[in-house]
Chain A
Amino acid sequence: MSDRMGAEIDGVQTKIWRWASSNAIWVVLALLFAIAALLSDAFLRPVYIFNVVRQAAPVGIAAIGVTLVMILGGVDLSVGAVISLTAVLTAVLMDGQVANIPLAVTVALAAGACIGGINGTLIAYNRISPFILTLGMAVVVTGMTQIYSGGTARGIVSPGFREFFNYRIGGIVPVLALTFLGLALLGVRLQQTTKFCRNLYLIGSNPQAAELSGLPVKRITIFAYALSGLMGAMAGIALLARSGVSSTFAGRGLEFDVLAAVILGGTTFQGGRGGIGGTIAAVFVLLIAFNLVNIVGLDYNAQLIVKGAIIIIASSAYIYFKKVR
């Protein structure tokens, strides 16, 4: 009897560890959130929690697209430049007129998708290293933004645009936060149910085998990069909606935040692994790390040390939970 009970307990323990193993980054997020809530009750206030979700929107939205190309075995370093370009482009095309909003948003999304499409086409047909190609594209897009804007973030945001995205439903949930969560859920759902996403994993795991088995590798590559560009454009619009832009380099450096989130979330440079869910959890891990040191009130230099340590500890804990079976 006691042997059977012991076996059952072992079985439950194994199941818990298995669950923790396959959801490692969520376990890390839950632990970090619990620590944050212990240190500051701000993390228990719904208004603040949704503020954090809204803060995460630009990086989080861009990270969804980059996750797709990294599952494919690629990378997209042009996403920061795309964010800057599309934020400036949207503001310029709006020109302070409400009637211009649909055109501005459509052109910005098209520009992002187009840049991503060019990345994808060059990678699919020329087999250039995605790292080098998208780095080069980042430089090109930055140059285009500078020429287009003349070095100042020209453009006037239409009245109502930022007010709409920052409006809090029920006094708590900003529309922008809801949009981000909606896109994240949509991404996870598509990843689980569509043939396109299944093919991304197949190509990422073994590109040669995928090609030999007749998968349309080139078409999928182009489409994945175009999606990454499109999500980059959405991130640019989200950045403009959240706080406006005060320079033509609004998205500078965000590509590294995006990459850090994608990799911490379990999607590797080798491809074929990971997913959007992990990326979203990692976006919040990184953001809470920043907000926590800020909110606890550490001196700036101590903030850097502790923030870096949180990231290192989080990634170590992630590996630990992953390995335990």
Chain B
Amino acid sequence: MRKLITFVGSTLVAIGLLSGMTVAADDARVMQEKQAAEMVDTTAYKKDGPYKIGVAAGYMGNSWVVFTLQHIRYEASLHDEITEVLVTDAAFNPTKQVADIEDLISKGVDLILYWPVDDKAIEGALQKAKEKGIPTINTGGGFVDSPSVTASVFIDQWNLGEMVARRLFQDMGGKGKIFAMLPIAGTTAAVDQLAALKEVMKEYPDIELLTAEYGDWNRAKAKQITENLLQKYPEIDGVFSPAGQMSIGVAEAFDEAGRLGEVVMSPGDEYNGWLKWVRANNQGGAVTFPTRVGQESLRLGMRILRGESVRKGMKVPSEYISPGAAGVYAEMDRPDDWWASELPEEWKPQ
């Protein structure tokens, strides 16, 4: 028994020590804006076609990425001078992504588009590409400032979070209690969206943030967490949830608890399952997380290969779509795990 008491006691002391740790605040946003506005000298990359394009995917296992890649392929089809698009999939393995990038270099690609598993792990491989005159473009959800990256084509998570928060607070009449459902803790998406939410909250003193939770982009987990929060909080007036696949789980939990009527859902994104929900419930709407970032990335790459000067960071802006309009984008005969996009039908994933 004494041993057990000693063990429990020491564990509690450890908890106390660790709980005291605080996370340092990050105000790198202003710096990021400045870095993104810098111009890149592309003369070293200028070359005539035909071109071989390399795509080093950090992972292919989610529908957003699948649509983004289809946008790259579609854009490539519009350029006669592009003869081939080579795609590698690192399946969340940073070591494999390094090898993939080296493979693409040895296959003589003229441009590398990539989305990382771990930015730091692939810096060396990207640097090799740059030294061989191959521009590298980070494509997706965040800006990267590194000598090994020529440019970033990205969706500004902070801006997206700000738009979602403003719309939610307007829909709530500027007051009430909310909780935030965020992606994986520590990711750029989660950090920036929460920072933006808190920033907008300064303008709305009557909005109270009950808690910020992390649903890991997982519908089932978001639902489970919401089921618990519904037990804890007798009053929840709004939910900040920019990711549509989690918003459905949240809304379902409210619905099953018979409390959907009391809550205002924030805009999600153009995830088809969410758009179906918006259409059925005529609320929420969407702030887009555009899969055409892939298309814009290849367009920027082509400008670099032509030797045009470009910005180091190019934002693909998110747009607000009202509930009425968002419902129109819902494809009812398609799966939930699908994205509204302007891809021609034959270029959508089969």
Residues of A in contact with B (beta carbons under 8 Å apart): 40, 42, 45, 48, 51, 55, 58, 91, 96, 146, 150-156, 166, 239, 242-250, 290-291, 294-297, 300-302, 305-306, 309, 312-313, 316-317, 320
Residues of B in contact with A (beta carbons under 8 Å apart): 1, 3-4, 7-8, 11-12, 14-15, 18-19, 21, 23, 60-63, 65-66, 185, 210-214, 217-220, 223-225, 227-229, 231-232, 245-246, 248-249, 252, 256, 271, 273, 333-338, 349-350
Q: Is the CB–CB distance between A153 and B256 below 8 Å?
A: no
**Selected contact of A40 from candidates B14, B231, B245, CB within 8 Å:** B231
A48 CB, nearest partner CB in chain B, Å: 6
Nearest 10 pairs of A and B residues by beta carbon:
A42-B231, A153-B337, A152-B63, A246-B245, A151-B66, A246-B219, A243-B220, A294-B228, A295-B228, A152-B337
Which B residues are CB-close (under 8 A) to A91?
335
Alpha-carbon gap, A154 to B229, bound state (A) = 30
Across chains A and B, the number of contacting residue pairs, with CB separation under 8 Å, is 127
Which A residues are CB-close (under 8 A) to B246?
246
Q: A42-B231, A48-B231, A150-B349 are in contact. Are A249 and B336 (CB under 8 A)?
A: no
Alpha-carbon gap, A152 to B334, bound state (A) = 11
Alpha-carbon gap, A242 to B246, bound state (A) = 14
Query: A152-B338, A291-B224, A295-B228 provided; 5 other pairs, C-beta below 8 A?
Result: A55-B227, A246-B249, A246-B336, A295-B229, A300-B213
Alpha-carbon gap, A166 to B257, bound state (A) = 12
Alpha-carbon gap, A55 to B248, bound state (A) = 16
Q: Is the CB–CB distance between A313 and B8 below 8 Å?
A: yes
Which B residues are CB-close (under 8 A) to A300?
185, 212-214
A106 CB, nearest partner CB in chain B, Å: 21
Alpha-carbon gap, A156 to B19, bound state (A) = 44
In the complex formed, the residue of B with least CB distance to A306 is B15
Q: Is the CB–CB distance between A305 and B18 below 8 Å?
A: yes
Which A residues are CB-close (under 8 A) to B336?
153, 156, 244-246
Alpha-carbon gap, A45 to B217, bound state (A) = 29
Alpha-carbon gap, A154 to B333, bound state (A) = 11
Q: Is the CB–CB distance between B218 and A51 below 8 Å?
A: no
Which B residues are CB-close (under 8 A) to A40?
231-232
A85 CB, nearest partner CB in chain B, Å: 13
Which A residues are CB-close (under 8 A) to B232?
40, 42, 295-297
Which B residues are CB-close (under 8 A) to A151?
60-63, 65-66, 349
Q: Is the CB–CB distance between B248 and A246 below 8 Å?
A: yes
Q: Is the CB–CB distance between A152 and B66 below 8 Å?
A: yes
**Selected contact of A247 from candidates B8, B62, B211, CB within 8 Å:** B62
Alpha-carbon gap, A247 to B231, bound state (A) = 28
A320 CB, nearest partner CB in chain B, Å: 5
Which A residues are CB-close (under 8 A) to B256?
166
**Selected contact of B4 from candidates A42, A291, A294, A317, CB within 8 Å:** A317
**Selected contact of B63 from candidates A58, A153, A296, A306, CB within 8 Å:** A153
In the complex formed, the residue of B with least CB distance to A41 is B231
Q: Is the CB–CB distance between A156 and B4 below 8 Å?
A: no
Which A residues are CB-close (under 8 A) to B338?
152
